[in-house]
């Protein structure tokens, strides 16, 4: 009978490094990924970023009392335990605008890494050393639409070769883990004694005390999981191309009392949008904080994402987010709520007529 090599602790779980060929241009390629490949220095000069065009007017919109009240009534009715009284009957005493700017910078980049991979050999084409291997950044790939994350894996041409399977040492089989290679194990019914209830012979194992291992059909070994019993594996380099949209947001502080994380749920009025290969920090914008944030983020993005990856496109957007603080009186009590964003979202932490929800 076939005698498989005994596993544990001997069998290698990872292929030895010596199994992989030395491929020029791919020296950093690892087993298991992480082989990181900086893009080559471009041979033609990079286009310089250009200052954006002049801005439209920075009008500040405001909402009417009617809009504020409608939004508030909708808000109260969406909460099961808010009575509608304050929203419907509260008397608005004051409305103040605390509109703010949100600056967003997106950098869309492409990065490439390589790793040695393997699969059972079934007669696939073997092309190692038949031609020069193209450099990792010379392999063409179809980029997705800008600003959309995507990953593509490409087998690097002329790197595929056939090797003996390291896991089974080319035998095609590996010992069954369930029976430790024996092909049988202790009978679970009689626990190995061969007898039940005194002198009754165990009918499950016919008194043998052992039963065939069902996992390997009594053979003691199974097809090697690495080569699927083929004895040989194909090894090759995979190139992983990752397109990533890096997104950073800066919101100008405002003193309304509305917490800033509320604003991530709403959109604003787009005041400025600039999409280019490399953007230039916004200039001439009336709010100095936005200009400062743009300078900082553009500098950080271009430093961070041009070393490890290739920047394909950048986009910067300034939005004006309307925020209105509404003060009102209800049953002699003075309260406030906020209406913000294009969606007229409402925040009212001190809503005066909540009934049941004291659940914690």
Please give the size of the binding site for Zn ion, defined by CB under 5 A: 18
- Selected binder of Zn ion within 178, 270, 343, 350 (CB under 5 A): 178
Judged by CB under 5 A, does residue 87 bind Zn ion? no
Region class of 172: left (phi > 0), else alpha (psi between -120 and 50), else beta: left
- Figure out which of the listed residues 76, 179, 282, 298 binds Zn ion, where binding follows CB under 5 A: 179
As a whole number of angstroms, the distance between CA 139 and CA 80 comes to 58
SS3 content of the chain, % helix, strand, coil (to 5): 15, 35, 55
The answer to whether residue 168 forms part of the interface with Zn ion (CB under 5 A) is yes
Sign of CA dihedral 108, 114, 117, 122: positive
| 3 state DSSP class of 255 | coil
What span, in angstroms and rounded, lies between the C-alpha atoms of 88 and 69? Answer: 7
Q: Which of 37, 63, 156, 167 binds Zn ion (CB under 5 A)?
A: 167
C-alpha–C-alpha distance, residues 98 and 10, integer Å: 70
CB atoms inside a 10 Å sphere around CB 161: 17
Single residue of 37, 176, 239, 282 touching Zn ion by CB under 5 A: 176
- The answer for residues whose C-beta is within 8 angstroms of residue 50's C-beta and 6 or more apart is 276, 280
| Minimum distance, C-beta of residue 178 to Zn ion, in the bound complex (Å) | 5
Give the nearest distance from C-beta 18 to Zn ion in angstroms.
Answer: 17
Give the x-and-dash track for 196-235 against Zn ion (CB under 5 A): ------x-xx-------x-xx-------x-xx--------
Instruction: Identify the residue among 63, 87, 128, 165 touching Zn ion (CB under 5 A).
Output: 165
Are the C-beta atoms of residues 238 and 214 closer than 8 Å to each other?
A: no
> Please, which of residues 180-199 interact with Zn ion by CB under 5 A?
187, 189-190
Residue 271 touching Zn ion (CB under 5 A): no
CB 217 within 8 A of CB 286: no
Nearer to Zn ion, 25 or 170 (CB): 170
Q: Which is nearer to Zn ion, 103 or 116 (CB)?
A: 116
SS3 298: helix
| Closest to Zn ion by CB, 39 or 229 | 229
Q: Which residues contact Zn ion by CB under 5 A?
A: 165, 167-168, 176, 178-179, 187, 189-190, 202, 204-205, 213, 215-216, 224, 226-227
């Amino acid at each position: 009978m076939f005698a498989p090599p005994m596993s544990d602790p001997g069998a290698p779980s990872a292929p030895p490094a010596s199994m992989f060929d030395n491929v020029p241009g791919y020296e950093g390629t690892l087993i298991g990924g992480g082989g990181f490949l900086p893009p080559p220095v471009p041979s033609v000069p990079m286009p310089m970023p250009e200052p954006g065009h002049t801005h439209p007017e920075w009008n500040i919109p405001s909402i009417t009392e009617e809009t504020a009240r409608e939004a508030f009534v909708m808000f109260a009715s969406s909460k099961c335990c808010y009575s509608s009284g304050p929203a419907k009957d509260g008397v608005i005493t004051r409305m103040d605008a605390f509109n703010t700017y949100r600056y967003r910078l997106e950098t869309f980049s492409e990065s490439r890494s390589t790793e040695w991979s393997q699969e059972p050999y079934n007669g696939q084409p073997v092309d190692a050393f038949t031609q020069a291997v193209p450099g990792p950044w010379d392999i063409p790939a179809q980029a997705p639409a800008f600003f959309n994350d995507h990953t593509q894996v490409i087998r690097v041409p002329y790197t595929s070769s056939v090797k003996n399977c390291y896991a089974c040492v080319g035998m095609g089989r590996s010992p069954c883990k369930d029976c430790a290679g024996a092909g049988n194990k202790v009978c679970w019914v009689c626990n190995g004694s061969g007898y039940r209830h005194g002198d009754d012979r165990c009918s499950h194992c016919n008194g043998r005390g052992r039963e065939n291992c069902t996992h390997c059909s009594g053979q003691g070994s199974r097809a090697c999981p690495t080569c699927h019993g083929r004895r040989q594996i194909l090894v090759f380099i995979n190139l992983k191309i990752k397109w990533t949209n890096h997104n950073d947001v800066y919101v100008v502080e405002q003193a309304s009392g509305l917490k800033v994380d509320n604003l991530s749920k709403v959109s604003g009025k787009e005041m400025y949008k600039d999409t280019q290969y490399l953007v230039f920090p916004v200039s001439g914008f009336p709010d100095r904080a936005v200009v400062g944030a743009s300078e900082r983020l553009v500098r950080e993005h271009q430093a961070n994402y041009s070393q490890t990856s290739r920047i394909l496109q950048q986009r910067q957007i300034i939005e004006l987010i309307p925020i209105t603080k509404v003060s009102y009186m209800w049953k002699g009590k003075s309260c406030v709520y906020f209406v913000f964003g294009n969606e007229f979202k409402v925040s009212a932490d001190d809503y005066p007529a909540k009934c049941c929800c004291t659940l914690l």
